Amino acid sequence: MSRRQAVRGWLQKLTGFGLTSLLLAEGQAAFGRIKTVVIDPGHGGDDGGATEGRVFEKHLNFDVSRRLEIQLQRRGYRTILTRTRDEFISLSQRSNVANKVRDSVFVSIHFNSARRTSAYGIETFYYSYDGYQLASRVHSAVCRKLRPEDRGVKKGSYSVLRHTKTPAILVEGGFLTNSKERERCLQPWYRQALAESIAVGIDVYAGDAANGRL
């Protein structure tokens, strides 16, 4: 090996190492290890959300949120609920809670409604790039488990997504305006499966974030 080759090899090693450690450092700075999940049960209090007969979206959102909380705690995450009872919380208050927590992600739980009662299925919204990374993992875990009509991962300009600085998503767990899907949403097994699969998706995201795979 000539002296020039030796120097080149040494330089490659050095720059290769330099790049790797730089990327790792960036990954860690941007994502770190997700320790906390801020769960946001949509609506509450006077704001019932989508309402069909005696079915109030706010109650279903809260039920799924509590189930999700249990699933996440079992996996070792700290959880914070933006509301712990049936009360009105403004959208900015919800984002403010999330923005105060380091190393966290934000998951808003909703059920859908549409004027066209034939509309059904599950869709997951994001706003930022980090939100998209989280949304795609959660959405695919949910679709694997529940095999719903897959309405996809979509960019949505929701206030809670725009104003939350941490990776933030909004899950629409089914249409209450569709009689068949409403029946499903009212079944505890469905809400349990929804919560479990959301937790799986969050866990996949956290693992990928920690390992620089985003």
Residue 94 found at the interface with Zn ion (CB under 5 A):
no
Tokens of 214: 């985003």
CA 121, chain centre distance (Å): 17
Cβ 139 to Zn ion shortest distance, Å: 17
- 110 or 137: CB nearest Zn ion: 110
**Angstrom distance (rounded) from CA 6 to CA 23:** 26
- 42 or 131: CB nearest Zn ion: 42
- 38 or 209: CB nearest Zn ion: 38
Catalytic residue, chosen from 123, 172, 181, 196, is: 172
Residue 148 found at the interface with Zn ion (CB under 5 A):
no
In DSSP notation, 132-173 reads: HHHHHHHHHHHHHHH---EEEEEE---HHHHS--S-EEEEEE
**Angstrom distance (rounded) from CA 195 to CA 211:** 24
Indicate the residue whose CB is closest to Zn ion: 110
**Angstrom distance (rounded) from CA 149 to CA 87:** 31
Binds Zn ion (CB under 5 A): choice among 44, 49, 131, 167:
49
Write the CA distances from 180 to 115, 120, 174, integer angstroms.
Answer: 15, 9, 10
Binds Zn ion (CB under 5 A): choice among 31, 39, 42, 209:
42
Longest dimension (CA), the chain: 83
Cβ 108 to Zn ion shortest distance, Å: 8
Catalytic residue flag (residue 172): yes
The identity of residue 118, as a single letter, is S
Residue 110 found at the interface with Zn ion (CB under 5 A):
yes
Residues in contact with Zn ion, total (CB under 5 A)? 3
Binding site for Zn ion (CB under 5 A): 42, 49, 110
Query: Which residue numbers are catalytic?
Result: 172
